[in-house]
Structure 1
């Protein structure tokens, strides 16, 4: 009996050695904790990823060893305490020496008889890739933008940035809505580069740039013999496998193509033109459009079901005229950009130019501001400050025409302040804007949609202005 027990013990030790060897040889990090949060498994790959020795981690509570960024908790702790399972989540944290670690994690609770007995994390190292992306973003080609490139401290743009950053945590589809020149692709690239797909392809296609028959084969690929000259060719969905596909001006696709796109998004499969079999895809789709989706649906430019599928996360980028506090920092950024390109030393813009920019409507948005700065610097020689005379003629012409055509009597009649004690211009403009919006709202029985249409705003823009101006609306709305 004693001999049999010794044989059993020897066999268990033998099996344990095999398990330990396998755990150390796999090319993923393994970290397991028991019921108390104490580390019980920590393999060689995890040591490499986290630059830690096994004695620094094994048999110690993980919260005593690792530090996490503000607002982020350990996925292992969440699995242990809440029974939460996470798949392909990017996590950034610090080891006991303060070194930043970034991993893509799959984390699972270990449950026995309904009780959580521990948790295990399987990690892939993307620390070097993250550092490469941050340090060499300009060399990366078509995905050079991150959230650091988005300039603006106004509440309007900060709210969108925050929502976009949250969207990096998942692979849900995103719809970005904004006028031409507001920076929709900048947001799309930032979301891609901030997500776990950042190391995979980012492919962008303008849906309005090609005829329908070409855009279909470009998106979904072709099967040899589908039509004269057709070859086996992967489409953009297959080329973007594991990454992100940006579809610009999605509302320009015809309804039939929108239906095929909807099917691809729902089924997560595509079928090449002329093929009979479906191909599974793992692609995050981000779509852009330059009109309010409600208007696009009403005018049959976008299928309602496609909108609901794409708009899991919807970002409305405010036009520049609604975030004028950001004009000066944007102008300064463009000056720095073209100083480098033109080998100049321009310091900024003068007060007349700044006031002109504030009173302008910016139909071309941020892109138009950049082009104006670039044009002004093209005609400067040794000057250090951009003056009104440096601005391109077409801008000065439009700006002066607007000034001549703008009636002043309604504003003058509204001003109730004693001009001997004038108030700041922004306060006066906000006051008049609040007065006018409230007046139109009352005329339309506080109907947001109808008021927004009369004012030439989207519903979202009107709601933002109401919040910004601290307007208290009648419950009738």
Structure 2
């Protein structure tokens, strides 16, 4: 075989190694890595140059030397099949794999060791999470939608999952804020730790403080030593839904807990360290909430390290068929039905309707319709719940009269709000263009903060247009 043929053969081998869906690593007699394919690099989040030609123990750490299957194969000639192995990279990432490891023997001597690895890290996290919490069920794969609007939100959320920074999720009621919250938790390094959700509007402030921060025995009549939700979520994530429902004093205490990473139980005099990620949701414009004293400005800045704005269903109507089919499938299973689609008339009604209740309202409409179905395989207009049809008629009535000159006050207020938002968006675009898209200068001209301007750019979806 000449040099050209040998180079071609090596090129073919390298391509095959990088295309197979199994991680491959080979070390020589000195323990240095001489082969390291693309899949192995992906599952370990390493670069080729980080590992190749470097000693195994300089890059990876094991509880004991014998826990390294590669070193066992190299030093003792031991072969192991389907053996689970957990170890750490020098970047601190925990890896769990199922390996087939064996020595390469030539003329009676071990000259190298090979490891074929399948990644089960995500499976292990999911399994542990189910065992430890049992109260989360959503991942990014659970999010239904192919519209550009929702894809951008998913991409932003996936990037947020890579860190432990606080997240503020902004969206109307029924848009799926908790779904995104759970997905971020599941996609993060904290996924094998607890996920705890608390609606801040569900309890009075007196109960909510002790629930969040815990109590010290003797703090009040009947009080016992009890950890709060922030302690119970140690190492994991806590979702604070409707954060604008907290009173200012509790918001200040929460801000201190986030900044100092400590909490103090009600009635206690000592602080306790906590490691928990905060995800908060709000169902209104946070700038309006700040202006109306429902949200502290300093807490907003602390929470909105990452801001995620979930679009309402009326802005992603192309996702309605996908969502409707998903809900039909769900209630077919629950109600033992065989519904296959919605009628054309219902489909057009769904597309024309503004869905003030968003995805939750769509699901309830389909659930209500399927409660009225017997043997039919199609949801018709007559199956839709009366309250939904009545609400739809009111919307159509408003829509038709808004085209006339004689508008009543309610119609005018709705129309005025839309006009004001359009004018605001157009003015922001114009000032951005004048200031050559400089956020700081534009915010100064507008008389608002950078944070407020960036929020409005996302809200009005003008980020790509300037």
Normalising by structure 1, we get a TM-score of 0.67
List alignment gaps of at least 5 residues for structure 2.
1-22, 54-58, 60-69, 71-81, 98-118, 405-417, 433-442, 447-454
Q: Match for residue 60 of structure 1?
A: 33
Q: Deviations over 1:138-195 (max 9, x none)?
A: 8963210000110001111100000000111111111111000000000000011111
Q: Match for residue 206 of structure 2?
A: 213
User: 8 Å contact 1:56–1:65 — kept in the other structure?
Assistant: no
List alignment gaps of at least 5 residues for structure 1.
1-49, 87-94, 109-120, 412-433, 451-457, 473-477
Q: Give 1:228 shift.
A: 1.0
Q: CA RMSD in A?
A: 3.9
Secondary structure of the structure 2 residue equivalent to 1:406: helix
User: 8 Å contact 1:104–1:196 — kept in the other structure?
Assistant: no
Stretch of structure 1 that moved more, 440-449 or 247-256: 440-449
Q: Match for residue 256 of structure 2?
A: 263
- Tell me, yes or no, if structure 1 residue 369 matches structure 2 residue 362: yes
Where does 1:268-283 land on structure 2 (aligned, <5 Å)?
268-283=261-276
- Tell me, yes or no, if structure 1 residue 322 matches structure 2 residue 322: no
Distance in 2 between residues matched to 1:313 and 1:57, nearest whole Å: 46
Q: Match for residue 431 of structure 1?
A: none
Q: Deviations over 1:210-239 (max 9, x none)?
A: 111111111111111111111110010110
Where does 1:297-336 land on structure 2 (aligned, <5 Å)?
297-336=290-329
Secondary structure of the structure 2 residue equivalent to 1:398: helix
| Distance change >3 Å, CA 410–CA 63, structure 1 → 2 | farther
- Tell me, yes or no, if structure 1 residue 342 matches structure 2 residue 342: no
Where does 1:195-206 land on structure 2 (aligned, <5 Å)?
195-206=188-199
| Distance change >3 Å, CA 445–CA 238, structure 1 → 2 | closer
Stretch of structure 1 that moved more, 262-271 or 391-400: 391-400
| Distance change >3 Å, CA 131–CA 55, structure 1 → 2 | farther
Q: Match for residue 404 of structure 1?
A: 397
Q: Give 1:66 shift.
A: 4.8
Distance in 2 between residues matched to 1:436 and 1:256, nearest whole Å: 34
User: 8 Å contact 2:24–2:37 — kept in the other structure?
Assistant: no
Q: Give 1:296 shift.
A: 0.6
- Tell me, yes or no, if structure 1 residue 463 matches structure 2 residue 460: yes
Moved over 4 A (4+): 50-57, 75-81, 101-106, 126-129, 132-140, 408-411, 434-450
Normalising by structure 2, we get a TM-score of 0.69
| Distance change >3 Å, CA 350–CA 75, structure 1 → 2 | same
Q: Give 1:61 shift.
A: 3.8
Q: Match for residue 151 of structure 2?
A: 158
Of residues 122, 126, 131, the one that matches 1:130 is 122
Q: Give 1:131 shift.
A: 1.6
Q: Match for residue 44 of structure 1?
A: none
Q: Match for residue 254 of structure 1?
A: 247
Secondary structure of the structure 1 residue equivalent to 2:240: strand
